[in-house]
Structure 1
Amino acid sequence: MWKRIIAVLVARNREFYRDRAGLSWNILMPIMMVLAFAFIFQGDGEDLLKIGVVTPDGDLASVESPFLALKHIGFVPLTEPEAAVIKVERHQLDLLLDPRAEPVYWVNLNSAKGYLAERLLRDAYATPGGVAPERQTVSGEALRYVDWVLPGVLAMNIMFSSLWGVGWVIVRYRKNGVLRRLKATPLSPWEFLTAQVVSRLIVVLAASLVVYLGAALLLDFPMRGSYLALFLVYVAGSLCLISLGLIIAARLRTEEVADGLLNLMSWPMLLLSGVWFSMEGTSALAQTASSALPLTHVVAAAREVMIDGAGVLEVLPEIGLLLALAAGFLTLATWMFRWE
């Protein structure tokens, strides 16, 4: 069995690295995207203040505070003050307000926007009988957009390479009669699909490593967590997305239909998984949909490692979830698979 799996794996890898155009595109495209975002967002960003508000139920309507009546300020409901304070340290929030029984707020002394937000806050509470919130100060350097977006770009590259690398290719095999010839061999569907998963996993991780090293040479981005944790996150994410691509390839006969379904699958993940922008402050429906997407957990776990300094234990729930989804997707793809 293993000899047959290895034979298919080697053949698939040779087909990939002999396609120099495809190999170059898989490596250069994400690096160019990271550089483009670094150039576009190298300024201070938009002028709108972003204020975090601690609320137990995540609903701003239940919060009573004169500060929330101000216009042209973005208020973001947050349920975990400890994690939100870190966002203030990194300038992701201009100010954090906890308006409960004894109001308190956190402001970054190094943030110009934080200074303005504090003045507006204190003016809002400067009413007869009003109780000014207690002041807590933090410090820290701003987190650049390119630092925040890089884990998502790496995950996005893995998604595209995983889905199209197996989904589109296997459909092409079926259309060209390659699968019909393999059907005459002792190779089973499970062995064939396992070889495709392992082959694509090697390619995806190798390409991601090259992209990561290239970005490290060109950009001074933070890597505060465990490299082992980051590796395990991307391995689990790759396995999950490759197995998802196999479901698309299980029965389709034309590349056009496969391409359409892969786009239909990838674009919601691209928009709702937090690759380009945070899902904090979006509607409850959007956040629910986001939490159901595999790419969301890959991006979130990678950011925890690279930005928040998480180790293996901290991201183990996301890794376990992605591996469980990968096993389920691969089982379903094997059951659905047809040679012709």
Structure 2
Amino acid sequence: MNQLSALFWARTKEYYRDKGSLIWSFVMPPLIIAVVALAFSREDPALFKVGLYPADQPPPVVEQSDYIQTVVFDDLVAAEQKVRHHQLDLLILTDGSHQYRYNPESQNAKVLRDLLNARNQHTAQADNAGWQGSELEGRKVRYVDWVIPGILGMNLMFSGLFGVGYVIVRYRKNGVLKRLQAAPVSPYSFLAAQVLSRLMIMLAVSIIIYVVSDWFIDFLMLGSYWNLLLIALTGNLCLLSLGLIVASRLSNEELANGLLNFLTFPMLLLSEVWFSLDGAPQWMSQVAQLLPLTHMVQAAREVMVEGATLGDISHHLVVMCVMTAVFLIISAKIFKWRSD
């Protein structure tokens, strides 16, 4: 019992003397709660989602309703694609043509059309007269179709950050890197080998998971598999490079674990892994664009759900490539072999 008590208090003191882990335990949970509450605590969530193209000038029947959320689009093709896949209940053209687009298989679209037609019949307002609808048919995007890029991206994020970052920290703590320093190995070669090895494993695992899951679930895939593979490759490199920054100097595994979690939780919340940020504040969406997982998930989702081409997702690829280069340069510059 005395041995157990001594070991218990020794481990407890070791924990609270580790300021990094202690701060992480008390700061991060309230921060996560605050972010979720700020982004998704709308008191009256909208029942219907209506798109407006090209201007934010909804008809009075839409503008006066508290249960209709409006989204403005500057790309008609992209907006129509969302109608086809049941991601918009109705698309209203606000260019004076008094036309709207709808999917005949959508029950919400039927309710909105009845509401719009009833308004036309019982009012004499010119803005509500003469509305004509056009059908846009397409396969419904299930939640599983929408969320699968986020799940695969989340798996790559955890594997990349912890698979490289945490391992190198343990190598340094155990003296493995100190022995490697005596060999004719440069930091660039060592880090490149770690990244390439993990990259190959992660890509293979992701492909197997996708193929097996698709066999059972039949995911919606409108784009090119080659584009999807390119996104996975670029996103993997970016996340692995980010993990290397954490691993470049640390030798404390608990602090490294806290920092890696500090990087992963914002991406889980803001990178649209499980839910969209359409209802979140604008500044939150802008912050999300600074996260590598956001670009990987959005690019993969655009390819799978919207049939985006390589040109359509090129800006996501460019951002991830730039981030990768910056992360690799920083990690190589600050890398050290020893823990002292």
Equivalent residues of 1:228, 1:312 under 8 A apart: no
Change (3 A) 1:173 1:305: same
Change (3 A) 1:55 1:291: farther
Equivalent residues of 1:301, 1:318 under 8 A apart: yes
Change (3 A) 1:78 1:248: same
Equivalent residues of 1:67, 1:124 under 8 A apart: no
Query: CA separation in 1, counterparts of 2:115 and 2:269?
Result: 33
Query: CA separation in 1, counterparts of 2:309 and 2:124?
Result: 49
Instruction: Give, as a single letter, the amino acid of the residue that structure 2 aligns with 1:163.
Output: L
Query: Partner residue of 1:293?
Result: 291
Query: CA separation in 1, counterparts of 2:241 and 2:89?
Result: 41
Equivalent residues of 1:97, 1:104 under 8 A apart: yes
Indicate the SS of the match to 1:277: coil
**Deviation per residue, 1:194-240 (Å, 9 max, x gap):** 11111111111011111111211221112222111111110000000
Residue 93 of structure 2 is aligned with which of 73, 98, 111? 98
* Displacement after TM superposition at 1:248 (Å): 0.9
The root-mean-square deviation of aligned C-alpha atoms, in Å, is 1.9
Indicate the SS of the match to 2:311: helix
Indicate the SS of the match to 1:96: strand
Q: How does 1:50-69 map to 2 (within 5 A)?
A: 50-56=49-55, 65-69=60-64
> What are the ranges of 5 or more consecutive residues in structure 1 without an aligned counterpart?
1-45
* Displacement after TM superposition at 1:130 (Å): 2.7
Which stretch shifts more, 272-281 or 157-166? 272-281
Query: CA separation in 1, counterparts of 2:205 and 2:111?
Result: 44
Query: CA separation in 2, counterparts of 1:190 and 1:172?
Result: 19
Query: CA separation in 2, counterparts of 1:142 and 1:69?
Result: 28
Change (3 A) 1:282 1:47: closer
Which structure has the greater CA radius of gyration?
2
Query: CA separation in 1, counterparts of 2:94 and 2:60?
Result: 7
Residue 162 of structure 2 is aligned with which of 161, 164, 176? 164
Which stretch shifts more, 317-326 or 223-232? 317-326
> What are the ranges of 5 or more consecutive residues in structure 2 without an aligned counterpart?
1-44
Query: CA separation in 2, counterparts of 1:240 and 1:295?
Result: 9
Instruction: Give, as a single letter, the amino acid of the residue that structure 1 aligns with 2:328.
Output: L
Query: CA separation in 2, counterparts of 1:286 and 1:54?
Result: 24
Query: CA separation in 1, counterparts of 2:218 and 2:99?
Result: 35
Residue 136 of structure 2 is aligned with which of 118, 133, 138? 138
Query: CA separation in 2, counterparts of 1:168 and 1:195?
Result: 15
**Deviation per residue, 1:253-285 (Å, 9 max, x gap):** 111111111111111111111111222242210
Query: CA separation in 2, counterparts of 1:82 and 1:124?
Result: 28
Same amino acid, percent of matched pairs: 44
Change (3 A) 1:139 1:63: closer
Q: How does 1:40-79 map to 2 (within 5 A)?
A: 48-56=47-55, 65-79=60-74
Query: Partner residue of 2:221?
Result: 223
User: Segments of 4+ in structure 1 off by > 4 A?
Assistant: none
Query: CA separation in 1, counterparts of 2:273 and 2:334?
Result: 31
* Displacement after TM superposition at 1:49 (Å): 1.7
Which stretch shifts more, 275-284 or 250-259? 275-284
Give the structure-2-normalised TM-score. Answer: 0.80
Give the structure-1-normalised TM-score. Answer: 0.80
Indicate the SS of the match to 1:141: coil
Change (3 A) 1:187 1:193: same
Equivalent residues of 2:46, 2:68 under 8 A apart: no
Change (3 A) 1:224 1:324: same
Q: Does 1:122 align with 2:120?
A: no
